[in-house]
Amino acid sequence: MDGRHQYRPLVARENYVQAESQDLLDRLFDGQLAPMVVHFAKRRALKPAEIAQLKKLIEELSDD
């Protein structure tokens, strides 16, 4: 054996990101998404593409 090891994650990245995102939202923003978006939007200038993406998401959510 050449001493090398192969590692693989036990948790899929998507599941990890979901859990960590929810934990952040719960801890810092009382589980509310809008205050988190406002927080980041006020502290970092959004690019026009990001604004368009957010508008599109809101429109899609409004259609439901």
d(CA 61, CA 33): 14
Of residues 64 and 56, which shows the higher confidence score?
Answer: 56
Domains of the chain (ranges, CATH numbers)? 13-63 (1.10.4040)
Which helix (H) or strand (E) element contains residue 39?
helix 33-43
CA 32, 39, 55, 14 torsion: positive or negative?
A: negative
Per-residue pLDDT at 63: 85
Angle between helices 33-43 and 13-29 (to 10 degrees): 90
Write down the pTM of the prediction. 0.65
Per-residue pLDDT at 2: 77
Q: What is the pLDDT of residues 17-53, one digit of tens each?
A: 999 999 999 999 999 999 999 999 899 999 999 999 9
| pLDDT over 70 at 1, yes or no | no
d(CA 43, CA 37): 10
- Greatest Cα-to-Cα distance within the chain, rounded to the nearest angstrom: 59
